[in-house]
């Protein structure tokens, strides 16, 4: 597997036994009772909870990976996981009779806390990383993904695949926005900004454009934004006009495990125009998502000279692509993507 949600060894200890999982689970309120993931275990669980089985469950697999979920009736929900997780061994239960939005909030926090504790989490939502095979593997082999992660710039430069064809209605839908962008006083710099980001941070951007990554031009969700790059269901990079109309700032979401943590390392990034925003994150961004603010797009090249920033963005983006294709295909502006990729062509 190319990318996992396991933390780096030099950041947090990795839990490696069911005893460690038990300690963490008990601390979260699951209690010390476990049930085998078979008919006898489910029968015993129903005996212990004959009526109210609404809450959160945690099941543990053969190699001590875990999965955290919610259900109105855990006994009915658990068997549905067997097809995807046939190595399930035991499960735990945390009663939570509140409403579903509240249970989802607890689920999200538990997934993040588990990853930060060093547990290997198989959840797709709310978690950093992706477990198991990916639809991306049919387009880019796992070996290619691994090689790309170690040297994105070189592999992207060598990849000159033609862009996939889009229907005329898709092109026409965004032609007006792109023409508006062409009239912007910093048009060339804006397009080059997307090109630089694609060349250094997006896995094989020509092959994955319009499917695994998309870019919207003047997205309607925010009037200040000029473009927004999305992967899976998250925005990963966007630029927007600041209060000072002459300034165009950039926002980048990355995997913080690859960023420097000391004051000196952060000071060096600040000198390049980078600020850390620890309050801005996505609900499904995972435990290691970090938001970086770049005060103006003219500093992006300098920012990406940092191997830490490049690696953190590359790892974050590849993780998202392995989850699923972009959820924002209807908003994709082929004209902008093509113009940006053209700036990086040999």
State how far the Cα of 182 lies from the Cα of 169, in Å rounded to an integer.
20
Residue 16 has pLDDT above 50, yes or no: no
The structure tokens listed for 248 are 């165009």
Residue 15 has pLDDT above 80, yes or no: no
User: In this predicted structure, what is the pLDDT of residue 9?
Assistant: 35
Provide mean pLDDT across the span 67-82.
93
User: In this predicted structure, what is the pLDDT of residue 194?
Assistant: 98
By CB neighbour count within 10 A (0-12 exposed, 13-18 middle, 19+ buried), where does 187 fall?
middle
Residue 334 has pLDDT above 50, yes or no: yes
Cβ neighbors of 224 (< 8 A, separation 6 or more) are 240, 241, 242
Residue 327 has pLDDT above 90, yes or no: yes
pLDDT by residue (tens digit) across 158-172? Answer: 999 999 999 999 999
Helix (H, G, I), strand (E, B) or coil at 321: helix
List, in sequence order, every beta strand (DSSP E) within the chain. 35-36, 55-61, 66-71, 88-95, 213-217, 225-231, 234-241, 248-255, 274-277, 289-294
State how far the Cα of 80 lies from the Cα of 68, in Å rounded to an integer.
14
- Range scoring the smallest mean pLDDT among 99-108, 242-251, 262-271, 322-331: 242-251
User: In this predicted structure, what is the pLDDT of residue 346?
Assistant: 61
Contact 190, 248 (CB under 8 A): yes
User: In this predicted structure, what is the pLDDT of residue 166?
Assistant: 93
Q: Which carries the bigger pLDDT value, residue 314 or residue 65?
A: 314
Helix (H, G, I), strand (E, B) or coil at 44: helix
DSSP class of 329: G
Residue 214's DSSP bridge partners are 230
Provide mean pLDDT across the span 289-303.
95
State how far the Cα of 156 lies from the Cα of 161, in Å rounded to an integer.
10
- Select, from the ranges 244-253, 276-285, 314-323, the one with the highest average predicted confidence (pLDDT): 314-323
Provide mean pLDDT across the span 69-84.
92
User: In this predicted structure, what is the pLDDT of residue 259?
Assistant: 95
In the chain, what percentage of residues exceed pLDDT 70? 92
Count of C-beta atoms within a 10 Å radius of residue 212: 27
Residue 124 has pLDDT above 80, yes or no: no
Residue 3 has pLDDT above 70, yes or no: no
Count of C-beta atoms within a 10 Å radius of residue 9: 9
What is the DSSP annotation of 121-182?
Answer: B--STTSSS--S--GGGGTS-HHHHHHHHH-HHHHHHH--PPPPP--HHHHHHHHHHHHHHH
DSSP class of 209: B
Residue 335 has pLDDT above 60, yes or no: yes
User: In this predicted structure, what is the pLDDT of residue 11?
Assistant: 33
User: In this predicted structure, what is the pLDDT of residue 245?
Assistant: 67
pLDDT by residue (tens digit) across 182-238? Answer: 999 999 999 999 999 999 999 999 999 999 999 999 998 888 999 999 999 999 999
Contact 130, 322 (CB under 8 A): yes
DSSP class of 218: S
Contacts by residues 11-20 (CB-CB < 8 Å, ≥ 24 positions apart) = 11/257, 12/116, 12/117, 12/118, 13/118, 14/118, 14/120, 15/64, 15/117, 15/118, 15/119, 16/64, 17/64, 18/60, 18/64, 18/90, 20/119
Residue 332 has pLDDT above 90, yes or no: yes
Provide mean pLDDT across the span 126-152.
88
Q: What is the mean pLDDT of the chain?
A: 89
User: In this predicted structure, what is the pLDDT of residue 7?
Assistant: 38
Residue for token pair 């006898």 = 40
DSSP class of 323: H
pTM beyond 0.75, yes or no: yes
Residue 290's DSSP bridge partners are 254
State how far the Cα of 138 lies from the Cα of 338, in Å rounded to an integer.
23
């Amino acid at each position: 597997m190319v990318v996992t949600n396991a933390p780096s060894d030099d950041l947090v200890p990795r839990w490696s036994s069911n005893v460690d999982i038990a300690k963490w689970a008990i601390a979260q309120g699951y209690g010390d009772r476990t049930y085998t993931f078979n008919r006898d275990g489910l029968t015993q669980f129903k005996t212990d909870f004959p009526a109210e089985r609404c809450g959160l469950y945690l099941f543990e697999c053969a190699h001590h990976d875990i999965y955290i979920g919610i259900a109105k009736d855990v006994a009915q929900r658990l068997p549905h996981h067997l097809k995807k997780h046939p190595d399930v061994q035991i499960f735990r239960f945390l009663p939570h009779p509140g409403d579903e939005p509240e249970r989802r909030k607890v689920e999200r926090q538990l997934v993040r806390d588990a990853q930060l504790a060093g547990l290997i989490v198989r959840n797709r939502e709310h978690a950093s990383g992706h477990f198991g095979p990916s639809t991306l593997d049919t387009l880019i082999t796992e070996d290619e993904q691994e090689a790309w992660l170690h040297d994105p710039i070189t592999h992207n430069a060598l990849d000159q695949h033609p862009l996939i064809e889009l229907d005329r209605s898709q092109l026409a839908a965004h032609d007006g926005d792109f023409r508006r962008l062409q009239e912007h006083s910093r048009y060339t710099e804006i397009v080059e900004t997307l090109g630089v980001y694609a060349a250094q941070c997006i896995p094989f951007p020509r092959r994955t454009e319009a499917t695994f990554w998309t870019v919207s031009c003047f997205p309607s969700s925010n009037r200040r934004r000029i473009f927004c790059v999305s992967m899976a269901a998250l925005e990963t990079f966007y630029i927007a006009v600041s209060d000072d109309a002459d300034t165009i700032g950039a926002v980048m979401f990355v995997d913080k495990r690859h960023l420097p943590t000391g004051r000196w390392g952060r000071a060096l990034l600040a000198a390049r125009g980078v600020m850390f925003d620890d309050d801005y994150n996505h609900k499904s961004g995972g435990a290691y998502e970090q938001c970086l603010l770049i005060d103006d797009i003219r500093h992006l090249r300098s920012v990406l000279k940092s191997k830490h920033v490049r690696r953190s963005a590359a790892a974050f983006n590849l993780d998202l692509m392995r989850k699923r294709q972009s959820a924002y295909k209807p908003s994709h502006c082929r004209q902008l993507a093509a113009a940006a990729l053209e700036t990086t062509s040999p």
